[in-house]
Chain A
Amino acid sequence: MSRIGVLVCHCGENIGRTVDCASVARALGDLPGVAHAADYKYMCSDPGQLLVKQAIAEKKLDGVVVAACSPRMHEKTFRRACASAGMNAFLCEMANIREHCSWIHESRGDATEKAIALARAIVEKVKRNQPLSPIRIPIERRALVIGGGIAGIQAALDIAEGGREVVLVEKEPSIGGHMSQLSETFPTLDCSQCILTPRMVEAYQHPGIKLLAYSEVESVSGYIGNFEVKVRRKARSVDETRCNGCGECQAACPNKKIPSEFEQGLGKRSAIYVPFPQAVPNIPVIDRAHCALFRGRAKGLKKDACSKCKEACGRQAVDFDQQDTFTTVKVGAVVVATGYQLYSVGKQQPSDKLKGYGEYGYGTIPDVIDGLQFERLASASGPTGGKILRPSDGKEPKKIVFLQCIGSRDPAKGIEYCSKVCCMYVAKHTMLYRHKVHDGKAYVFYMDVRAAGKGYEEFARRAVEEEGAIYLRGRVSKLERTGNAIKVHGFDTLSGRPMVIDADMVVLATAMRPQPGIEALAQKLSVSCDGHGFINEAHPKLRPVETNTAGVFVAGACQAPRDIPDSVAMASGAASKVLGLFSNEELERDPTVAVVDETGCAGCFHCERVCPYGAVERKEIKDRKGVLLKVVATVNKGVCQGCGTCQATCPSKNVELQGFTDEQIFAAISAL
């Protein structure tokens, strides 16, 4: 006969108001196998926990049921209390009579009856509980950081400074991300590159950081503490060990008319190129889609059409025959920091859900640019040397209209969220414009100015009060090309007047979206994305840098629109989580995992197909002579998240979730 103790919590009035806790305790006390039953105002308080411990010692209990709140709240509390009283922690369970009962019912009689039933069910389950011990897993104390923008760089540096190795993977030829494209940053107006490039160099030179630029994550296997990641190192066509970054190859390349990605199409680059002068690593890459030699080869030409870069290279670093290579790294944790891209207003959209802005000409009206393009125009290292000039005719615009919330807060175009950073960078743009074009007039169409952040509101007000920007509250209905100007048809809801402005240039503050390919990467990492492709954090408030896959963390704008300070803070948060994990040699986790009875397993592998975490593996059973007898399923304890899908699927009932066996569950149901 079991000796179960039942402890009923009033949770102040939370439970006590609708459930007669004393009656619950009395009713449970009469059940066979229950050796002790009591109720108390706050069971989670120190005196409450003491009651649990005393009961275990005095009544020699072999199981405890705490009828209180959700196990998500206090299961750990009570299991720790039981363990300290010498009982196996997994012999303690909670019956949820708050969220599942008192909070959702009004009739005291009915609620009390239901609370008794819930507690009775858990008593029957606990009678069948087995002592379990936590699982221990060794940890590979090296981290992978995906994405070399400011978030990825910060996370990599923090982890490396904490004494652990980092592999930093960046898909572009250089690290630096979008921050390297920005001119000045709000709210201090300090030069973006001036504060970023030291970090880039530091990351490159840090002995603890291995930089794999121009590389992408190919596949990921394993689990927290033990990931195995295959990285594709894309062929640069330049031998990194030989190149010294002298730039002769770029000078020799005959094709210098390719729109530069770094300059957002406003500047040109050669086919062999370094994206920008401070690139890290400063090693060129051949853009094979535009290189005459590779285009010729693709067409089947026998003779190479051009090899001027190779001829110009004094170190024989140019290698036309280089292929993609693969490298595998073992890491214990992953930080995803893949950043963002800007929504485009064009007719062609990456998904049916997104719509372009036909009313703004689908991006075909000249001198209608986006925020990143304006950054390049304003940047001293940009295509105009920091002069604000129209892309169409190189003239200085005297009237610029900035439109906020383009794509953002626009469910009709497929994006309902606020992109958070645009209000601030538009204010900054109006200032930069005013500083460069003294007689220029900046107009801003906005819906709300969202300037929550240290020094942000003050900065946004400065644009209006001191820098002469005219803020007009309203959205613009249409952009119309009229001769050399762009007619902006807007409305100022504050004055109640239509506002039609003939602008020389229009800057669209377009929405932030996750990088293309984020969903494929998320799938490789078994993390989930929201409807827009942003990586889901494990909890929006309490676990902001963790994901729902243990050991995978998230930082920066791949989780939601973020500015630089937010991204950096998040990256440091993720790094500290990684270092916290790495402060242990072994990982301890709940034994709530599935276990296969290998003798009964028929090897149908339905469990393998349904497992959402890829935890089911195949195991060969051999006899002593090494002859293969059968192949059975086995569950990798490190990967299993205890969802129980395999258990529900197994036709021969040979896989069971520890702590949630069929026997336990059926007993609980039968007791209801």
Chain B
Amino acid sequence: MSLAIGPGQRLEDSVSDGSSHPDSSLAGDLRRATGLNVAACYQCGKCSAGCPMAAEMPLKPHQMLRLAQLDLRDELLSDPSPWLCLTCETCTARCPNEVDPARLIDGLREIVFKSGSAVAPLRLRAFHKAFLRQIRRHGRVFEVGLIVDYKRRTGALFDDVLSAPAVFRRGKLALSPSNIEGRDEVRRIFEACGQAAARKEVHS
């Protein structure tokens, strides 16, 4: 059963039929990723009222949760809004119904990121990838390496201020990476997390 709710949009009937089939809706994916129930959002908008990034988001936080409730998966996951969240947790701290929007938006990003979809804004994706690569390689973040990697991935002209000699002059950037002894340990953590994610995919 499905219900037309607008041009080209269909609201799939995602009401659980009480059977043990895994919930294939976006709400189900979010529950598996975060343990949270997106249906608990009663759309008061307090999250959006306090969100520092709401002004720049095409979909405000409560609207993201609404689309998740309606299972409008493609529309939500292809939107840049989840990537504009700063994870400042203001929404979660003030949410009257204890929905934890920040964690749910984390969950949306995780779902997109793991799907390898190209919707994550290029710069943000590049930044996160470059950052994690630093940890995986050195155990810590080596900023110069991060910047070079990031620049390579985005192809964008690198940010003016940070490349300025003033930063180096203040001793704020190390010129060579410091590798930790337990690099292998860290690499194994990355591998184990990758495997855990793959297992989850297979299960769902």
Q: Can you offer 18 A-B residue contacts whose CB atoms are under 8 A? A: A359-B50, A359-B94, A405-B96, A409-B42, A409-B96, A411-B97, A412-B94, A412-B95, A412-B96, A447-B42, A474-B44, A474-B45, A476-B46, A490-B45, A490-B49, A496-B60, A498-B49, A498-B55
Encode B55-98 as 1/0 by CB contact (under 8 A) with A: 10000101100000000000000000000000000100011111
Q: Once the chains are docked, how many angstroms separate the CA of A323 from the CA of B66?
A: 63
**Inter-subunit contact A493/B48 (CB<8 Å):** yes
The interface centre, meaning the residue of A405, A413, A447 with most chain B CB atoms within 10 A of its CB, is A447
Interface string of A469-491 (1 = CB under 8 A from B): 00001111110000000000111
* Residues in B neighbouring A411, C-beta threshold 8 A: 96-98
Find chain A residues with CB under 8 A from B147 CB. none
Cβ of B204 under 8 Å from chain A: no
Q: B62 and A493: CB pair below 8 A? A: yes
Report B-chain residues with C-beta under 8 Å of the C-beta of A490.
45, 49
Q: Assuming A489-B49, A491-B45, A493-B48, is B96 touching A475 (CB within 8 A)?
A: yes
Is A410 part of the binding interface, using a Cβ–Cβ cutoff of 8 Å?
yes
* CA of A498 to CA of B47, assembled, Å: 11
Q: Does B195 contact A (CB under 8 A)?
A: no
Using A475-B44, A491-B45, A491-B60 as known contacts, list a sample of 10 further A-B pairs with CB atoms less than 8 Å apart, ordered by residue number in A.
Answer: A359-B50, A412-B94, A475-B45, A477-B90, A478-B49, A478-B50, A489-B49, A491-B46, A493-B45, A499-B49
In the complex, what residues of A have CB within 8 A of residue B50's CB? 359, 477-478, 489
What residue in chain B is nearest A448 (Cβ atoms)?
B42
Tell me if B186 counts as interface (CB < 8 A to partner A): no
- A405-425 residues at the B interface, CB under 8 angstroms: 405, 409-413
CB pair B43 A493 closer than 8 Å: yes
Instruction: Out of A412, A492, A493, name the residue touching B97 (CB < 8 Å).
Output: A412
The minimal Cβ–Cβ distance linking B2 to chain A, given in whole angstroms, is: 25
Q: Indicate the size class of the contact surface on chain B.
A: 20 to 34
Which of B's residues lie within 8 Å of A, judged by CB?
42-51, 54-55, 60, 62-63, 90, 94-98
B100 to chain A, nearest CB (A): 10
Least CB distance from A422 to B in Å reads 15
Q: Which residues of B contact A412 (CB under 8 A)?
A: 94-98
How would residues 412 to 450 of chain A score, 1 for a CB under 8 Å from any chain B CB and 0 otherwise? 110000000000000000000000000000000001000
CA distance A161 to B46 in the complex (A): 51
Interface SS of A by simple majority: mixed
Task: Report the tally of A-B residue pairs with Cβ distances under 8 A.
Answer: 66
Nearest Cβ distance between residue B88 and chain A, in whole angstroms? 12
Q: Give CA–CA (A412, B55) in the complex, Å.
A: 26
Contact among A409, A410, A447, A491 with B49 in the assembled complex (CB-CB below 8 Å): A491
Q: Which residues of the other chain, B, contact A493 by a CB distance below 8 angstroms? A: 43-45, 48, 62
Please tell me if the beta carbons of B94 and A477 are within 8 angstroms of each other in the complex: yes
A409, A473, A474: which has the most chain B beta carbons within 10 Å?
Answer: A474
Q: Could you tell me if A413 and B96 are in contact, using CB atoms closer than 8 angstroms?
A: yes
Q: How far, in whole Å, are A474 and B97 apart by their CA atoms in the complex?
A: 13
A663 nearest CB across to chain B (Å): 45
User: Which residues of chain A come closer than 8 Å to B55, judged between CB atoms?
Assistant: 498
> What is the CB-to-nearest-CB distance from A637 to chain B, in angstroms, rounded to a whole number?
49
Picked from A409, A410, A492, the residue with its CB within 8 Å of the CB of B45 is: A492
A residues in contact with B46, CB < 8 Å: 474-477, 491
Q: Which of A594-608 contact B (CB under 8 A)?
A: none
How far does the alpha carbon of A493 sit from the alpha carbon of B61 in the complex, in Å? 11
Asked whether A477 lies within 8 Å of B98 as measured between CB atoms, the reply is no
Residues of A with C-beta under 8 A to B97: 410-412
- For residue B103, give the distance in angstroms from its CB to the closest CB of chain A: 15
State in angstroms the CA–CA spacing of A359 and B92 once bound together. Answer: 13
A166 to chain B, nearest CB (A): 42
The 6 residue pairs across chains A and B that have the minimum distance between CB atoms: A477-B50, A474-B45, A491-B49, A475-B46, A477-B49, A410-B96
Chain A residues near B60 (CB, 8 Å)? 491, 496
Among the interface residues A490, A491, A496, A498, which one has the most CB atoms of the partner chain B within 10 A? A491
Q: Would you call B48 and A447 a contact (CB within 8 A)?
A: no
Q: Do residues A498 and B54 form an inter-chain contact, with CB atoms below 8 A?
A: yes
**A139-B95 Cα distance, complex, nearest whole Å:** 53
Q: B96 contacts which chain A residues (CB < 8 A)? A: 405, 409-413, 475
A291–B48 Cα distance when bound, in Å, is 51
Q: Is the CB of A474 within 8 A of B94?
A: no
Q: Is B95's CB under 8 angstroms from A491's CB?
A: no
Select from chain A the residue with minimum beta-carbon distance to B48: A491
User: Which residues in B have their C-beta under 8 angstroms from that of A477?
Assistant: 46-47, 49-51, 90, 94
Q: Which residues of A are found within 8 Å of B63, using beta-carbon distances?
A: 496
Whether B48 and A474, one on each chain, are in contact in the complex, defined by CB atoms closer than 8 angstroms, is yes
Contact with B along A592-626 (1 / 0, CB 8 A): 00000000000000000000000000000000000
Task: Give Cα A412–Cα B43 distance, bound, in whole angstroms.
Answer: 15
Give the residues in chain A near B95, CB-CB below 8 Å. Answer: 412
Partner of A476, one of B42, B49, B51, B54: B49
A583 to chain B, nearest CB (A): 48
Chain B residues lying within 8 Å of A499, measured Cβ to Cβ, are: 49
Using CB atoms, name the residue of chain A closest to B59. Answer: A496
Instruction: Please report the C-alpha to C-alpha distance between residue A492 and residue B45 in the assembled complex, in whole angstroms.
Output: 7
> In the complex, what residues of A have CB within 8 A of residue B45's CB?
473-475, 490-493
Bound together, the chains give a CA A447 to CA B46 distance in angstroms of: 10
CB of A563 to closest CB in B, whole Å: 23
Contacting residues, chain B, for A473 (C-beta < 8 A): 45
Shortest C-beta distance, A355 to chain B (Å), equals 11
Complex contacts, A405 vs chain B, CB 8 Å: 44, 96
State A413–B90 Cα separation when bound (angstroms).
Answer: 16
Binary per-residue interface labels of chain A (323-361) against chain B in the complex, 1 for a CB within 8 Å, 0 otherwise:
000000000000000000000000000000000000100
A498–B56 alpha-carbon span in the complex (Å): 11
